[in-house]
Every structure is written in C-alpha cells, then in structure tokens.
Structure 1
C-alpha cells in the first residue's frame, strides 16, 4: 500500500483516531515496513496538541517542508517527520495549528502526494488525515492521487447522509473504478451494516470498533504498551489495515460486509 487517505463529511466521527490507529497497526501487519502519518487537516491539527502533547514546534512538519527551497522528496518528508514510537516504525509529518495556514497545505498537496507515492519502494506506507471535506482549502490533490480514500462515519442518520454525498463527490473526482470506501466507527445502530452499505451504494462497509480507552491514548497521548496493542481498537485496526492493503493492491471492493 502506498497512500491511504481518511476523511469525513460531517461532525467528528473519529478520522484522526482512525488514521493513527491504522498507522500504528500497519507495521504489525506488514513486518519490516514503516508507516508515516501526513497530518493534512486544513482546519487544524488534532495530533499536535493531542498525541504529541504540543511537544514539537508548530512551525515544523508540513509548513517547513512547503518552504524548503532545496526541493521535496519522500526522504524529505521523513526527515521532517516526528517519531511516534521508540522503534522508528511509525512517524508523523505534523500539520498546522491555525486554519489560516490551510492554503499552504492545499497548495502543497500535489507535492505531498508525489512524495508519499515515492515512499512505496523504501517500504513506507503513508496514511493521510485530511479531516472534514468541503473546506475552502481542501487538499484535493491528496484525494485525487490516493490509492484508497475511506470516508469515516458513524451509524447515525446525519453522518450516513453526509457520507453518501461525500462518496458521490469522491467517485466523480477519482473515477468509479478507484478505491473509494466507507468506514463505520463504532457499533451499528440504529442502522445495520447491510442497510448502510445499501444506502451508500457500496457492496460493504468496513468497520472499526469503539474503544474509548485506547482512543484516548491516540487523542491525548499516553503509554502504548502491550495493553494498548491488545486493545479492541488495535485488534480492529489490524484487521482494517489488512483489508485496506488488499483494497489498495486490487482496487476492487474489499471482502464482504462485517456486521
């Protein structure tokens, strides 16, 4: 898998938590490979003040790469990234803290996409958090060039309705044959997975379980030891990473609906 993008249409269904969880799981699924999170939410980073606890400068990351006069490559992105773990298997290229900087992210999106795709051969899987769609500075190039785009939603009518509109727009942008998927966070209800898949015009929907304790580690920082990696969230993220890798390679619907 080269580049996977997570986004949402409405509210806060858990895009950042999902991106971090999948990025954490990928090296467990693909031994010897690394993962890099691109924090490309133009509304402002949730990773900097959250998981990283404001421990790195907000003027680094994507902003620093965008102003690098020596040019940008996949290696440059890694050089400007911050390690998420002690093993060096997981990294994040930090984003912006002020939405007024969103234009920089948008204008730099094509270069980011090119750098991300160049990391395939060095063994780095790139996970992108673009946050909510429809922002005036939306980094459209990342959506266009992604191997897989997953719209994250919850089993509520407003969230499902928004996801349907977003999937329609993405199919128009990316083409009907591209990997554009739906991902439900949390338990199904009041609408079931099959009912939701039918509404979204999908053969199935991917799922990620609700796990407030493990999600809290990713949203607010904390220990990521054995308990974390054995949590329901990480077990679900490993299964999800496997499905998304298969979708990326095959560019066809992933295995059936998980209810």
Structure 2
C-alpha cells in the first residue's frame, strides 16, 4: 500500500504526521519515505545521517532496485519506525524525487506499507508524477477558511491525476467547521482531525523522546487515521469513486 501525505499550502505538519502515521500503522509500522522536493528534515530532526537515503535510492533505481532490496537505503528512527530520509538540499532532493517519480514501482516495492511525505504539492512539484501510482492521498490542512479555499481549488487537479478513488483530508488544529461541512464543501471525506498537541508534535519532530507519546491526543488521531486508511478497499482502476465517508 502506497500512502501519500501532502499539503497544498502552508506548513501544517506533514512530515510529523507521516512519521506518526507510519509508526502507528495497524498491525505494525510502515516505512516513511521523505519525498519532499523542497528538502528533507527527518535526518536533522532525529540526528541521523542523510545517507543512506533517498538520493542513494534514486541513483540505484536508474538500473532497477539492486540485489539485496531496499534495506541498504533505510535507517531506523527513534520512534520504532524506519525511514528513507531525504537530503536537506532542495535541489538534490527534487532531483531524487524526479528520478523516483519516473519509477513509482520502486517506491511501492520498498515495504508492504509505504508512507510518502510529499511536503507541499505545489503546481509543478515532481511528486505529482507519483499520484497515478498511490493507493491513497491524504491532504493535510489547517481548518480555517483560507487554507480550505486552497484545498478546494486544488482537489480537482489532484483527482484528475489519480487512478485510485481514495483521496481525503486530515484537518489539523482548531477550526470553525464541522467535518460534514468540510466534506460537503470539498467533496472529499474528512478522514481525521489531528489536534494541536505540543507534546505529541515535539516527539514527532525529534525535540522530545519517550514511549508515552503514543498516548497523546495527536497519536490517537494518527492511530485513527491509520485504521481508516488500512480499511479502505483495494484500488480498482476504472471503478466509480467511493462514497464519501466522514470520520467524526
């Protein structure tokens, strides 16, 4: 299963959400792949090297995934989850994402569940080329009018690039609208509400440590999101779009 998390404007915490979602995925952690063309942050946040990582995977993928599989490009993070970290330099990271976007099956074959952190899906982002291959796209957004306006204008183009019907929204922080209102406006399900939680966010960004983070409100929201995504039916090309489901 290839799950992409991305925003369309602002910085609502996509990287932290991707790490937490992978760590709390039902029946065992998924693999985080940092595919943000603007540059990776996980290596700096968690004190690991930038290589092995995305740049090396991209270079190797030009000739097909080498024997031995993806393990040589994966690093453990302190939260009990593994990651393919992106280089901090935006130009290097964008080039690696461009190479891998042309070989999406390499990304999908890294692990049974791969959580892609695509950062901000700005127009022209090389991560757009991965959309036809992903099983699920989660658009992470703040719940205020300005950010929802941006999401509303971008969703039609994102849908047009996807072959899967599974596109939904995760709303971060406080907002003025109920999930049904947001879903009705966007024509997309609200799969999760990720509350403002300084402790949970601090752990997921490498500023704090400790196993108790899995009991935070943010962790509960991410665990619920993982349960919803894991229960989605398999992608069927050409099938009608799934009925909207709103997760309260």
TM-score (norm 1): 0.83
**Residue of structure 1 in register with 2:8 after alignment:** 9
8 Å CA contact 2:65–2:106 kept in 1: the answer is yes
Give a deviation string over 1:206-229, Cα, whole Å, max 9, x none.
32222111111111343231x111
CA contact (8 A) 1:74 1:116 kept: no
CA distance in 2, matches of 1:254, 1:73: 41
Q: Where do 5+ consecutive residues of structure 2 fail to align? A: 237-241
Judge conservation of contact 1:151–1:166 (CA < 8 Å) in 2: no
Contact 2:179 2:190 in 1 (8 A): yes
C-alpha contact (below 8 Å) 1:39/1:130 kept by paired residues: yes
Cα distance in 2 for partners of 1:182, 1:136 equals 21
Q: CA deviation at 1:91?
A: 0.6
Q: CA distance change for structure 1 residues 83 and 254 in 2, over 3 Å: closer, same or farther?
A: farther
1:82 pairs, out of 64, 75, 82, with 75
Query: Helix, strand or coil: the match of 1:202?
Result: coil
Whether the 8 Å contact between 1:244 and 1:254 is mirrored in structure 2 is no
Q: Which residue of 1 aligns with 2:160?
A: 172
The answer as to 2:228 corresponding to 1:243 is yes
Deviations 1:222-254 (A, max 9, x none): 3231x1111111111111100011125377357
Q: How far apart are 1:135 and its partner, in Å?
A: 5.3
8 Å CA contact retained: 1:247, 1:254? no
Cα separation, 1, equivalents of 2:66 and 2:30: 16
Deviation at 1:140, TM superposition (A): 2.1
Give, in angstroms, the shift of residue 90 of structure 1. 1.9
Aligned to 1:200: 186
- Deviation of 1:192 after TM superposition, in Å, equals 2.4
Root mean square deviation of aligned Cα = 2.4
Partner of 2:36: 41
1:70 shift after superposition: 5.8
Q: Report the secondary structure of 1:242's partner residue.
A: helix
CA contact (8 A) 2:171 2:190 kept: no
Q: Say whether the 8 Å CA contact 2:179–2:246 is kept in structure 1.
A: no
The count of residues paired between Structure 1 and Structure 2 equals: 241
What SS does the corresponding residue of 1:199 show, helix, strand or coil? helix
In structure 1, how many angstroms separate the alpha carbons of the residues matched to 2:67 and 2:231? Answer: 23
Q: Name the CA distance, whole Å, in 2 between partners of 1:135 and 1:109.
A: 15
Q: Judge conservation of contact 2:135–2:235 (CA < 8 Å) in 1.
A: no
CA separation of 1:12 and 1:75: change in aligned 2, threshold 3 A: farther
Deviation at 1:256?
2.8
Give SS of 1:92's match.
strand
In structure 2, the residue corresponding to 1:42 is in which secondary structure?
coil
| TM-superposed deviation, 1:62 | 0.9
Mean Cα deviation higher: 166-175 or 62-71 = 62-71
More displaced stretch, 212-221 vs 201-210: 201-210
Among candidates 208, 212, 216, match of residue 202 of structure 2? 216
TM-score by length of 2: 0.87
Partner of 1:60: 52
CA distance, structure 2, for counterparts of residue 109 and residue 250 of structure 1: 19
